[in-house]
Each structure stands twice: as C-alpha cells, then as structure tokens.
Amino acid sequence: KNQKVKQNATFGMAWSRSARSLRSTACCTFAAARGGEEEQLALLRQIASDVKSRPPANPIPANFHLSSGDAGSVTRREPLHELGKLLYQRFADEVAKQLSPTEVAAEPSMARIARVHSGEQPVNVNHVSGVCYQAHSVLANHQDGPKALYTMSVALGCACDFVVGARPATSAGRFKNLRSGAPATLRMESGDAIFFDGGSIPHAIPTIHKGTAPPLWHQALPK
C-alpha cells in the first residue's frame, strides 16, 4: 500500500445481522455515534494488514472480508464480532433513552434495535467486512438487497459524505422493499458509526474529504 493510499483513504466497516444523536429524514431514521481515539486505533491495528485497495485510476471502492462463520471457525475473528455486539448495544441503549416507545415502534430499524435493548432479540453478528475508499473513490447510490439488512457501519480515516434516501436513478438499482424520500447527507468523520437498514434505504458515498484523517491514522498503518 503506497503512502498516498495510507494518507487519503477511508475504511468503511460493516457488521451485518442480527449513539449519541438520532437523525431523522423523510424516508428513514438512523442512529449515529462516534468512537474514541483509543477504540479507533485498536480497530485500525486489527484490520490494517487485511485492507485491499484498487489502482489509483479505478474509482470503485475495494471490498474485503474480515470475519465470518460460527464460533470456532477458522474464518472468524472473535474480537471483531464482540466489537460489533458492543456497538449494537450502545445504539440500543441510546435509542431507549432518546426515543419514546411510539417513535421506536414507527420505524422498523429502531424497533429492531429496541429488541436488542430489551433482550428480546439479542445481536447475532455473523459477518464483518470492509471497504477501502481512496480520495477519488465513489460509491454509487444503491440498496444492499431485496429485504431488510440491518447494518452497523463505521468510518475510519478521512471524512466522507454519506447520503441516504435518494431514489436510485434506474430500475436496475431498485428493489421492491425500497424506502426513499428527501435525501439527507451526513458527514462521517473518523470513528463515526451509523446503524440503518441498508437493504431498504438507498445510500451512497459521493465524496471523500482528502487530508482529513486524524493523527492516529498514521500511527496505525504500516509504513
């Protein structure tokens, strides 16, 4: 990995299946929070050797696998799954504090996270993946699939614009479970996390803000 990639990149990590502020749009509700620098540094050191990137001329972000499988599987890295569970629990606790039962019941993603808080439906993190965005990378607007997929995503590195809600331009990018409306843009700084239904809610990353990675970024990555 060259120095340019290390200085001007964002890693997006997603914990699939199963907060400090709650943000609402016309089409969805999602929760956002930020982790401390020590947590970010520890996570970066865990994943640095696994990151894959594309050639500078290619604007498509590079996906990479981090962990999956049942407990004890050779493809499973338990600390990453435990971190995913911790993030879900943090969001669940904040949702319970900040939203009324009526507000929670009105939004499927919040109702799901509320069942984590109550213990009715504990978190079952079965897949952890990453995406490497370089300064020129663009993630096109899309849904993750034809059904609800509740996902916890964390940004590490340079800040990025995370856009949710815009209706995909072509039918090829739309599924029947689509929930779209007035788009909302959230600038994600390093350590920010978002919980939302990526299967139903269209989302995109049109911009990486070059040179905004915190100092810990350079401490964690190999020279």
What would the pLDDT profile of 58-86 be if each residue is shown by its tens digit? Answer: 999 999 999 999 989 999 999 999 988 88
Helix axes 78-98, 108-118, angle to 10 degrees: 110
Question: Which amino acid makes up residue 83?
Answer: L
Give me the torsion for CA of 125, 147, 179, 160, rounded to 10°. Answer: 40
The percent of residues above 90 in pLDDT, for the chain, comes to 30
Higher pLDDT, 87 or 30: 87
Task: For residue range 190-223, list pLDDT tens digits in order.
Answer: 888 888 888 888 999 999 999 898 887 776 665 5
User: What is the model's pTM?
Assistant: 0.80
Q: At what angle do helices 78-98 and 37-47 cross, to 10 degrees?
A: 150
E strand map for 2-86: 9-16, 21-24, 29-34, 62-68
Q: What is the mean pLDDT of residues 90-100?
A: 88
Cα first-last separation, the chain: 9
Around Cβ 156, how many Cβ atoms within 10 Å? 27
Core vs surface per residue 4-18: b (16+ CB within 10 A) or e = ebbbbbbbbbbbbeb
How would residue 187 be classed by pLDDT, with cut points 50, 70 and 90? very high
Average pLDDT, the chain: 81
Q: What's the CA gap between 155 and 37, in Å, rounded?
A: 12
